Structure 1
């Protein structure tokens, strides 16, 4: 026997109670499925990798390898020294803080420009010998938008670097400048957890591969 809706002049048979119950359960199931929140995705992290260390440690060779391997823009720090700095270093005169601030600011701006242009990160070479220099470059980082600055510190013995710089040709940095850089060097320690130390006593290929391996580890953190 059918029951009828009292609100309509047209007699429409209502579904049986057991059928209505099944339909309601299905509707609720669909609604629950539809409104289930999607798993949150981790925001994309963009890294500024600053390859640091005294003259002769292999910054350019290692940075170029990293940039190519990760398909990132490469900013060669030496290319942005003003003529006055190059003149001093060519004459064997160490740069002081005043000489370096403008250069550091230029590198910081160049890194920012790459990111603002849509790059997923960049690789920069910069000696960054002192903690305050590294702190200055760290200002490029913006955690709220997923920009992270990390340093790859190429660590080496002073005598090894002097030998390497002596073997260079047509470069403004002279071998006697290496000792002055070691005097100025404030080696990173555990108080700077964003620094990745890499020993450079091995072959260039070994150093490049070790640096990339350490970087890839940090990218997964």
Structure 2
């Protein structure tokens, strides 16, 4: 049986999750699920007011994102690209459960790594987005960067040009496909 993939594009606000996810979705010819579209209204309100989300705020959202990705696979897709900050290992673990329940599903994270300066510049440049500077700092403080024990994480430095980041992300994804 052929494996099906869930590609989770992760990292703090401003790292380029949506841009890279859209690019990978088009290159891989798989659906793209924008995680921010599934935040409950109260979560969006909290973030817009500069109030960091708690673990309790995130659990149902994380389960819903995992469910949406699995639904795309169940509908016959070979893969799906999903955006989710997945700042903590336990958040990534919630999505990893998709592979525990279905052994032909492979979950991989593409962690978009950036320093605080780059993230703040990018968030400040956004127009009409609910994520503000203070939330970037909160996300950085909450961030548990993936380490070598998380073998399903592909790390991409996003400090370069958009085309170089897109190329690096696609190269890592294609390389991992060759290993599966």
State the TM-score, normalizing by the size of structure 2: 0.97
Q: CA RMSD in A?
A: 1.0
**Could you tell me how far apart the structure 1 residues matched to 2:141 and 2:103 are?**
37
Residues 143 and 220 from structure 1, CA distance in 2 versus in 1: closer, same or farther, beyond 3 angstroms? farther
1:130 corresponds in structure 2 to 88
Q: CA deviation at 1:116?
A: 0.7
Does structure 2 retain, via aligned residues, the 8 Å contact 1:48–1:123?
A: yes
Equivalent in the alignment of 1:99: 57
Structure 2, unpaired ranges of 5+: none
Q: Secondary structure of the residue that 2:80 maps to in structure 1? A: strand
SS at match of 2:99: coil
Higher relative contact order (CA 8 A, sep 6+): 2
Which of the two has higher C-alpha Rg? 1
Residue 72 (str. 1) matches residue 34 (str. 2): no
Q: Equivalents in 1 of 2:168, 2:93: separation in Å?
A: 25
Gaps of 5+ in 1: 1-42
1:117 to 61, 75, 97: 75
Counterparts of 1:34-53 in structure 2, within 5 Å, are 43-53=1-11
CA distance in 2, matches of 1:135, 1:158: 25
Partner of residue 15, structure 1: none
Aligned residues: 179
TM-score, normalisation: structure 1: 0.79
Verify: 1:218 aligned to 2:176, yes or no: yes
Is the contact made by 1:162 and 1:176 (CA closer than 8 Å) also made in structure 2? no
Whether 2:139 is the aligned partner of 1:181: answer yes
Q: Determine which of 139, 148, 160 is the counterpart of 2:118.
A: 160
